[in-house]
Amino acid sequence: MSKITFLGAGSTVFAKNVLGDCMMTPSLQGFELALFDIDLERLKDSENMLNNLKQSAGSSCVVKAYTDRKEALRGAKYVVNAIQVGGYDPCTITDFEIPKKYGLRQTIADTVGIGGIFRNLRTIPVMLDFAKDIQEVCPDAWFLNYTNPMAVLTNAMNTYGGVKTVGLCHSVQGCVSHLFKNLEMESEGVQWKIAGINHMAWLLEVTKDGVDLYPEIKRRAREKQREKHSDMVRYELMFRFGYYVTESSEHNAEYHPYFIKKNYPELVDRYNIPLDEYPRRCVRQIERWRTMREELVNNKNLEHKRSKEYASYMFDAMETNNPFKIGGNVMNTGLITNLPKEACVEVSCLVDASGVTPTYVGDLPPQLAALNRTNINTQLLTLEAAVTGKKEHIYHAAMLDPHTAAELSMDDIVAMCDDLIEAHGSWLPKFV
Identified catalytic residue from 170, 199, 251, 403:
170
Q: What domain count does the chain have?
A: 1
Q: Which of 272, 207, 214 is nearest to 243 (CA)?
A: 214
User: From CA 201, how far away is CA 180, in angstroms rounded?
Assistant: 17
How high is the pLDDT of residue 304? 96
Read off the CATH number of the domain in which 28 is found: 3.40.50.720
For helices 391-400 and 366-388, angle between their N-to-C axes, nearest 10 degrees: 160
In a domain, 366, yes or no: no
Cβ pair 142, 355 in contact under 8 A: yes
User: From CA 342, how far away is CA 318, in angstroms rounded?
Assistant: 27
Regarding beta strands 142-145 and 164-168, do their DSSP bridges make them parallel or antiparallel, or are they unpaired? Answer: parallel
Our CA dihedral for 9, 11, 17, 18, rounded to 10 degrees, sits at -30
Residue 403 burial (C-beta neighbours within 10 Å; 0-12, 13-18, 19+): buried
In a domain, 94, yes or no: yes
Cβ pair 8, 86 in contact under 8 A: no
Structural domain that includes position 165: 3-169
User: Each residue of 175-203: pLDDT tens digit?
Assistant: 999 999 999 999 999 999 999 999 999 99
User: Each residue of 322-345: pLDDT tens digit?
Assistant: 999 999 999 999 999 999 999 999
In a domain, 161, yes or no: yes
Provide the residue type at 315 as one letter: F
Q: Is 403 a catalytic residue?
A: no
Task: Please tell me whether residue 60 adopts helix, strand or coil conformation.
Answer: coil
Q: Is 103 left (phi over 0), alpha (psi -120 to 50) or beta?
A: left
User: From CA 97, how far away is CA 359, in angstroms rounded?
Assistant: 41
Kindly provide the b/e burial profile for residues 102-125, where b requires at least 16 CB atoms within 10 angstroms of the residue's own CB: bebbbbbbbbbbbbbbbbbbbbbb
CA triple 187-306-183, angle to 5 deg = 20
For residue 201, which phi and psi values (nearest 5 degrees)? -95, 160
Cβ pair 159, 139 in contact under 8 A: no
User: From CA 101, how far away is CA 96, in angstroms rounded?
Assistant: 9
User: From CA 327, how far away is CA 166, in angstroms rounded?
Assistant: 10
In a domain, 148, yes or no: yes
User: From CA 146, how far away is CA 153, in angstroms rounded?
Assistant: 10
How high is the pLDDT of residue 1? 81
In a domain, 246, yes or no: no
Regarding beta strands 200-208 and 142-145, do their DSSP bridges make them parallel or antiparallel, or are they unpaired? Answer: unpaired
- Please write down the long-range contacts of 407-414, taking CB distance under 8 Å and 24 or more positions apart: 407/103, 407/104, 407/260, 407/261, 407/262, 408/102, 408/103, 408/104, 412/102
In a domain, 378, yes or no: no
Helix (H), strand (E) at residue 114? helix 113-137
User: From CA 348, how far away is CA 159, in angstroms rounded?
Assistant: 20
How high is the pLDDT of residue 114? 98
In a domain, 301, yes or no: no
The CB density around residue 301, as the number of other CB atoms within 10 Å, is 8
Distances (CA, A) of 195 to 90, 160, 265, 311, 364: 35, 24, 32, 20, 8
Regarding beta strands 78-81 and 3-7, do their DSSP bridges make them parallel or antiparallel, or are they unpaired? Answer: parallel
Our CA dihedral for 279, 280, 283, 288, rounded to 10 degrees, sits at -140
User: Which residue stretches of the chain have pLDDT < 50?
Assistant: none
In a domain, 248, yes or no: no
